[in-house]
Amino acid sequence: MGFRRWVQTFCLTIFLGLLFIASGDLILSPAADFFLRLDPSIALITTISSRHFLGGLIPAVVIILLTIFLGRFFCGHICPLGTTLDVADKVFAVPYKKRKNVGYLRSLKYLVLIALTGASLFGVSYIFLVSPLSLITRFYGLMILPAVNYLTGGAHQILFPLWEQLDINALLFFQIKSLRYQTQFFVLLFFTGLFSLSRITPRFWCRYLCPAGALFALFSRKPLVHRVVSDKCNECGKCVRACSMGAIDEADFLQTCFEDCVVCLTCEKICPESAITFSREPAPVQNGIISTLPTRRQFIVAGVAGTSTAMVSLTGLNSSVGKAGQGQVVPPMLIRPPATLPELDFLARCVRCGECMVACPTNTLQPIWFDAGLMGLFSPAITPRRGFCNPDCHRCAEVCPTESIRVISKEERVWAKTGTAMIHRQKCLAWEHDKKCMVCDEVCPFGAIEFTQESGLSVTVPKVKEEKCSGCGYCEYHCPVQNQSAIVVTPMNALRLTHGSFKVTAEQAGLKISRKEKSPPTYPGSEKSDSPAPGFDSNFAPGFDAGEDEKSSSAPGFSK
């Protein structure tokens, strides 16, 4: 295994390791999003669409600067998608002679980048559809990891009799988080397609489609260190056939298309004459740079395509453009993670990498389909039936590469209201069926469920104190009513602040979110101690009764 393979293996291992650490809830990895911050396409498009330069994206700038000297080294060495595609190419790629000539697609990646930039000028970010780091994070995080977990859990289950024999506590109580995600079929189909493209040429994605590759290519047109062919070359063509990027001119082996060269050094290694080196020397034969830049006409068409897509998106019914309030058609049950930016800003920033969903300990964060229109595709939403949103946890914010979810202090976190619970009384066991339940009250961390007694009902019934509810979804998650919970979190009064304190804003709005206080019980008797129960039903503390089994002996219409 050569140097490059080692580097690739190392980088992919780090990438997967960070993802794996992010998925566990033991320690937080502050660098979970590190690789995403290396992607210059994310940095460029997000900066333009959000009108905001994020310090966290400086690593991408550093990579770009290095590219000026070293060429597209990132693609050949660091990019986890590139490495994954190299593996896929090993399996699927066809011999050189059988490859189709699709060289005319070379400028396509620039057009992709131009279209994205065009859309981002209007504040619309579609980078999530094509960012290599976003895609590969979803591939491993939302598709491979859950599958691995599932298989590990299954294996543990099958081997359970063995663990019982061994009687080792850690094995007996080994629990692996079962993960489920929506929209992974997109990831599956996308990557099936991507791997299939190996049948056309290796690294099809990197050659023709990748917008980050396009950005690197722009800066690597004349890299300082580059491929140099000496006059020892006997034109055997071995390098041309071995080049996974097709960066060597098929007519003139001395010529290199530096825009496409990923500095993998394969040609240097395999040249039987040792005629190829990567150095700062100028190439002996120089007929000018081979350029794959698009034509002016193509440029304009791509730009217009991007801007018109933005226009269509912004004028879609579900677009949240303009001021919040009347006329906004917002998905009725879309709950964003705590401290998510206001919707339009959020969508301009979120790159749908899925890091937040990987890091979410309760699996409540799910990518959505088209609930919020095309612009909201794959964006994260709290899904309380799947899991509650722990008020002590804000891992989603900590791993977000673009600060789409604000990083706030622990104290602030509690005030970052995500919505308000609402009781469907007709589904509620207590309200509709007069059954003892009160699970919503039992699990609410904020004492936001008030229990009262209503005439005609023998049991206590729940009511939501709106100003105390943080929208965490404990109630909806735990509600014993099947399928559709009898208590649901709606986005009502969610706090979405660009800046400023959640606590101050919430308190000004009259919210009283606290884990220390709970309204004093409204039960007769709570104020007078030891007084005998003055009556039946309504005068007992919640859950207590007169102490007799109810016996309705009389038939309807008859008196006792």
Query: Looking only at Cα atoms, what is the longest distance across the chain?
Result: 115
Phi-psi region of 293 (alpha: psi -120 to 50; beta: other; left: phi over 0): beta
**For residue 340, which amino acid is it?**
T
Q: By CB under 8 A, which span of 68-76, 110-118, 304-312, 472-480 interacts with other proteins? A: 472-480
390 binds other proteins (CB under 8 A): yes
Q: Which is nearer to other proteins, 157 or 455 (CB)?
A: 157
Point out which residues pair with 489 in neighbouring strands: 421
The only residue of 36, 127, 357, 438 in contact with other proteins, by rule CB under 8 A: 438
Which residues in 201-239 are b (16+ Cβ under 10 Å) and which e?
bbbbbbbbbbbbbbbbbebbbebeebbbbeeebeeeebb
Least distance in Å: CB of 159 to other proteins?
12
97 binds other proteins (CB under 8 A): no
Q: Which is nearer to other proteins, 167 or 286 (CB)?
A: 167
Q: Which is nearer to other proteins, 367 or 387 (CB)?
A: 387
Say if residue 482 is exposed, middle or buried (CB neighbours under 10 Å; 0-12, 13-18, 19+): exposed
Taking CA atoms, 413 is separated from 12, 77, 314, 393, in Å, by 33, 39, 31, 8
Q: Which is nearer to other proteins, 247 or 488 (CB)?
A: 488
CA distance 204 to 289: 22
Q: By CB under 8 A, which span of 73-81, 285-293, 347-355, 474-482 interacts with other proteins? A: 474-482
The only residue of 392, 426, 551, 552 in contact with other proteins, by rule CB under 8 A: 392
For 350-381, give the secondary structure using H, E and C: CCCCCHHHHHCCCCCEEECCCCCCHHHCCCEE
Residue 97, token pair as written in the block: 């002679």
Residues 246 and 301: beta-carbon distance below 8 Å: no
Site string for other proteins, 149-188 (x = CB under 8 A): ----x--xx--x---x--x-xx-xx-xxxx----------
Residues 526 and 541: beta-carbon distance below 8 Å: yes
Q: By CB under 8 A, which span of 224-232, 234-242, 280-288, 439-447 interacts with other proteins? A: 439-447
The only residue of 73, 219, 474, 502 in contact with other proteins, by rule CB under 8 A: 474
Phi-psi region of 373 (alpha: psi -120 to 50; beta: other; left: phi over 0): left
The only residue of 126, 195, 219, 451 in contact with other proteins, by rule CB under 8 A: 451
Residues 489-518 contacting other proteins, CB under 8 A: 515-518
Q: Which is nearer to other proteins, 172 or 330 (CB)?
A: 172
Chain residues that interact with other proteins, rule: CB under 8 A: 25, 153, 156-157, 160, 164, 167, 169-170, 172-173, 175-178, 361-362, 390, 392-393, 429-430, 435-439, 441-445, 447, 451, 459-460, 474, 478-482, 515-518, 520-521, 523, 525-531, 533, 540-549
